[in-house]
Structure 1
Amino acid sequence: MAPSSRSPLESVSTLHWVAIALALVTAVIHLILGIGFLPHWMGIAFLIATAGFGLGIALVFLDYRRRLVYLLGIPFTAGQVLLWYAVNQPAGLGDLTAAGVVDKVAQVLLIVVLVVLYRRE
């Protein structure tokens, strides 16, 4: 059988692009926060999260074991939400920042999209 000349990007669907955009939003927010918190351990944690989202995006673009990427991305992203809640313990809307709201909405939507992608493949 001849090797495929098809580019991995040809298999990136609209739903993949939605997931990539959501992962980029949260990656950029984590990057900005990470740089801002350095050299504190929280800065390093934010940068590790940035790297995780970036790695997931790259693996999807490379069409490398996407189903596994989705499966690992779900708890990774959910962990970000749970850690944020544990660290910040918001009591009301006044405790939320614009960046926090954008990030958590992007992450919750990313989890939904990853579940859909996982179930489709």
Structure 2
Amino acid sequence: MSTVTDTAESGLTVSTDELTRLHWVGIALAAVTGILHLVLAAALVPGGLGIAFIVAGVGFLGGIAAILVDYRRQEFILLGIPFTLGQIVAWYVANAPDFSPLGIGDKVVQAVLIVALVMLYRQD
């Protein structure tokens, strides 16, 4: 099923014609970690950690938006790899050795996202 939607107000076009199943897996994984970061940010704002969580959440969701409107799709796929890897490293540094099950679950999602992003980058 393909979808192309024009939005006259913003000039953006949502185009999913070229998205593969792997793209959708990556979008789902990015959505899970992005939404989780924003939910956790709500509990941590106005502190610096809350702002960091907002930046992370918006980064993941912004990446999804760029993929959906086909704005430099390949570049955003490539950018997602170090962005997500940076999230894992920052989490480890901030939490070692006290890792929560939620944090571990999120990092598993992010590790699978990195694999998906590498595969997407290599296939295009």
Match of 2:24 in 1: 17
- Stretches of structure 1 that go unaligned for 5 or more consecutive residues are 1-5
User: What is the CA RMSD across the aligned residues, in angstroms?
Assistant: 1.1
Distance 1:61 1:109 in 2: 20
Distance 1:32 1:55 in 2: 16
User: 1:119 is matched by which residue type in structure 2?
Assistant: R
Deviations 1:63-116 (A, max 9, x none): 1111100110000000000000000012xxxx3322212210010000000000
Distance 1:78 1:25 in 2: 16
Distance 1:72 1:79 in 2: 11
Match of 1:88 in 2: 95
Question: 5 Å matches for 1:8-47?
Answer: 8-47=15-54
User: 1:14 is matched by which residue type in structure 2?
Assistant: R
User: 1:109 is matched by which residue type in structure 2?
Assistant: V
Deviation of the 1:29 alpha carbon: 1.2
Deviation of the 1:9 alpha carbon: 1.1
Q: What is the percent sequence identity of the aligned residues?
A: 49
Deviation of the 1:28 alpha carbon: 1.3
Indicate which of 34, 51, 58 corresponds to 2:58.
Answer: 51
User: 1:53 is matched by which residue type in structure 2?
Assistant: F
Deviation of the 1:16 alpha carbon: 0.5
1:99 matched to 2:99? The reply is no
More helix by share: 1
1:61 matched to 2:68? The reply is yes
Q: Which has the higher contact order (CA 8 A, sep 6+)?
A: 1
More strand by share: 2
Distance 1:112 1:106 in 2: 10
- Stretches of structure 2 that go unaligned for 5 or more consecutive residues are 5-14
Task: Give every structure 1 segment of 4 or more consecutive aligned residues whose post-TM-superposition deviation is greater than 3 Å.
Answer: none
1:73 matched to 2:80? The reply is yes
Q: Secondary structure of the equivalent of 1:110?
A: helix
TM-score (norm 2): 0.86
